[in-house]
């Protein structure tokens, strides 16, 4: 009995000693799926992912100025590639973990029609978008409106969020009747959780390839490498797909 207890305690101590933390900068659109993945990651590996959520462009600025992030899950593929080129990201570590989808969404279940014609009717005062300079989903929204020939006419109605989470909040709180957000933000169990939405055709904007990269500060961290490997596994990919993302 004593030997059994001794070995159990020894195993627990060894497990704690090998457990590690990783500081992760996560694009705001990926908040809900990453929270779920991080919890499962800790349960399966013992490593803990400490998550910070925000706009990809702002994370870039923080990283080059010395922020202690060890992994970046971006909302685009350009930022991780740039960090890799500049020596802030580890060469060969970059991969696409999700392909984002843009939707026009309203908290009002009768506001947005299945073809997005509400944009042409102008039956709204404010349209929320994320800052296109720092948030890839905001850039995608501007591109889509441009291809629809509606950008010039609607710019005066924009309510601009710092990131995609704040953009959604503008719509939730009624500061904007509708807005462009990530599909993942408005789904629950694979279905629209509330309101009304139009999934913007992929032909209207450049593919939102969301890349992950191991940052220089995480190159010697076991948890950092373990998290990136976990994101490629079946458990994580199942969660990612359930939130409406495409997979490579």
The predicted structure's pLDDT at residue 13: 39
The predicted structure's pLDDT at residue 19: 81
- The owner of tokens 């500081």 is 23
Residue 52 neighbours by CB distance under 10 Å: 13
The predicted structure's pLDDT at residue 233: 98
Structure tokens at 140: 């995608």
Q: Which among 128, 109, 111 is positioned nearest to 171, based on CA atoms?
A: 128
Backbone φ and ψ of 24, nearest 5°: -120, 125
DSSP annotation of 126 reads -
> Mean pLDDT, consecutive 10-residue segments, the chain of 248 residues?
43 52 96 97 98 95 97 97 98 97 97 96 95 93 98 97 95 97 90 95 96 97 98 97 93
Taking the mean position of all CA atoms in its chain, how far away is CA 105? Answer: 17
Length of the chain: 248
| Contacts for 31 with CB less than 8 Å, ≥ 6 apart | 53, 165, 185
| Contacts for 151 with CB less than 8 Å, ≥ 6 apart | 142, 145
Q: At 225, is the secondary structure helix, strand, or coil? A: helix
| Complete domains list, the chain, with CATH | 2-99+208-242 (3.40.190.10), 102-199 (3.40.190.10)
The predicted structure's pLDDT at residue 18: 65
- The owner of tokens 């850039």 is 139
């Amino acid at each position: 009995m004593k030997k059994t207890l001794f070995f159990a305690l020894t195993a627990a101590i060894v497990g704690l000693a090998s457990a590690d933390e990783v500081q992760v900068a996560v694009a705001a659109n990926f908040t809900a799926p990453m929270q779920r993945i991080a919890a499962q990651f800790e349960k399966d590996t013992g490593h803990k992912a400490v998550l910070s959520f925000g706009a990809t462009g702002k994370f870039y600025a923080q990283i080059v100025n010395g922020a202690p992030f060890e992994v970046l899950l971006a909302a685009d593929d350009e930022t991780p590639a740039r960090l890799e080129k500049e020596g802030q990201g580890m060469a060969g570590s970059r991969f696409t973990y999700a392909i984002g989808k843009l939707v026009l969404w309203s908290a009002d279940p009768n506001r947005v029609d299945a073809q997005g014609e509400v944009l042409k009717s102008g039956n709204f005062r404010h349209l929320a978008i994320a800052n296109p300079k720092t948030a890839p989903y905001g850039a995608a929204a501007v591109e889509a409106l441009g291809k629809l020939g509606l950008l010039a006419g609607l710019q005066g109605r924009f309510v601009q969020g710092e990131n995609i989470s704040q953009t959604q909040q503008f719509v939730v709180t009624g500061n904007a009747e509708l807005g462009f957000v990530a599909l993942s933000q408005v789904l629950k169990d694979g279905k629209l959780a509330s309101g009304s939405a139009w999934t913007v055709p992929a032909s209207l904007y450049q593919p939102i390839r969301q890349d992950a990269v191991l940052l220089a500060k995480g190159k010697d961290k076991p948890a950092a490498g373990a998290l990136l490997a976990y994101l490629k596994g079946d458990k994580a990919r199942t969660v990612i797909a359930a939130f409406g993302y495409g997979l490579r």
